[in-house]
């Protein structure tokens, strides 16, 4: 399976480094973009499976570019992954709200990078537990639960709400199953139904909503 990737970063050296890592395998085809506007253009032209999006870029930044991609119904199959550091928690949180499928640290190991791209290309969200906690909780502490958001959870069953907590901690279906004493397949079914009811393309929006509504609070996993 060939995975098409758009790599968006305003730093030439960073793009070259990532491209060198991705070009080591035959199944990853990379297109580069130097800013958010060019990234959106490249996505509309090449219809990639995955976009690796830097957050801070001149002109149209990664956040706005992600919003434009996620808001285009013709690009529903495209998954955006933010490239970030620990220092930009608020930006990552907003990126997830705008439709990003997850995020990666820029110092990720090469094998992990390639595996992450394939994971997202298969339609699964990318939420590393350690990064999820450190980045999202930092920003979640600054936000009070939103009553309007809490009303959105009314469509969920009790079991589906229960499943959202481990999803917010970045756990896999297998890990959720162990925690809630159910099979991985049953966990996957509950997660899928939850995403459908809440209109989420993948797991990332569930994480944001769980924190915004107070269903999960900082420090609770």
Q: Confidence class of residue 86 from pLDDT cuts 50, 70 and 90?
A: low
Query: Smallest Cα–Cα separation from 103: which of 123, 79, 122?
Result: 79
Longest CA pairwise span in the chain (Å): 49
Position 24 scores a pLDDT of 85
Classify 31 as helix, strand or coil: strand
The whole-angstrom separation of Cα 127 and Cα 30 is: 23
pTM (two decimals): 0.72
Question: Alpha carbon of 72 to those of 47, 81, 122, 210, 214: distances in Å?
Answer: 12, 16, 20, 25, 29
All CATH 3.40.50.2300 domain ranges in the chain, comma separated: 3-126
Average the pLDDT over 104-123 and give the result.
Answer: 86
Confidence of residue 61 (pLDDT cuts 50, 70, 90): very high
Taking alpha carbons only, the member of 117, 100, 81 closest to residue 2 is 117
* Residue 140 to residue 215: CA distance in whole angstroms: 12
Write 97-101 long-range contacts (CB < 8 A, 24+).
Answer: 97/205, 97/208, 98/63, 98/66, 98/67, 98/70, 99/66, 99/67, 99/69, 99/70, 99/71, 99/201, 99/204, 99/205, 100/53, 100/66, 100/70, 100/204, 101/125, 101/126, 101/201, 101/202, 101/204
Predicted confidence (pLDDT) at residue 101 exceeds the cutoff of 80: yes
Higher pLDDT, 29 or 152: 29
Mean predicted lDDT score pLDDT of the chain: 84
Give the C-alpha separation, 40 to 51, whole Å: 10
Higher pLDDT, 123 or 4: 4
pLDDT at 136: 59
- Where residue 138 falls among pLDDT bands split at 50, 70, 90? low
Please state the rounded mean pLDDT for residues 144-161. Answer: 77
CATH node for 3-126: 3.40.50.2300
What pLDDT, on a 0 to 100 scale, did the predictor assign at position 100? 85
Supply the pLDDT for residue 97. 76
At the topology level, CATH places domain 144-212 in Arc Repressor Mutant, subunit A (1.10.10)
Q: Distance between CA 61 and CA 85 in Å, rounded?
A: 16
């Amino acid at each position: 399976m060939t995975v098409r990737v758009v790599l968006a970063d305003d730093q030439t050296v960073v793009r070259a480094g990532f491209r060198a890592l991705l070009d080591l395998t035959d199944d990853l085809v990379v297109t580069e973009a130097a800013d958010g506007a060019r990234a959106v253009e490249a996505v509309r032209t090449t219809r990639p499976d995955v976009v690796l999006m830097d957050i801070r870029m001149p002109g149209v930044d990664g956040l706005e570019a992600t919003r434009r991609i996620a808001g285009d119904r013709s690009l529903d199959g495209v998954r955006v992954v933010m490239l970030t550091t620990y220092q930009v928690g608020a930006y990552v949180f907003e990126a997830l709200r705008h439709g990003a499928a997850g995020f990666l640290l820029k110092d990720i190991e090469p094998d992990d990078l390639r595996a992450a791209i394939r994971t997202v290309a298969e339609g699964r969200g990318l939420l590393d537990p350690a990064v999820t906690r450190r980045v999202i909780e930092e920003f979640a502490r600054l936000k009070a639960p939103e009553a309007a958001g809490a009303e959105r959870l009314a469509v969920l069953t009790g079991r589906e709400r229960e499943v959202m907590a481990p999803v917010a901690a970045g756990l896999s279906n297998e890990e959720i199953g162990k925690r809630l004493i159910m099979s991985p397949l049953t966990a996957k079914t509950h997660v899928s139904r939850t995403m459908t009811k809440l209109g989420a393309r993948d797991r990332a929006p569930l994480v944001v909503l769980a924190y915004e509504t107070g269903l999960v609070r900082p420090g609770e996993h």
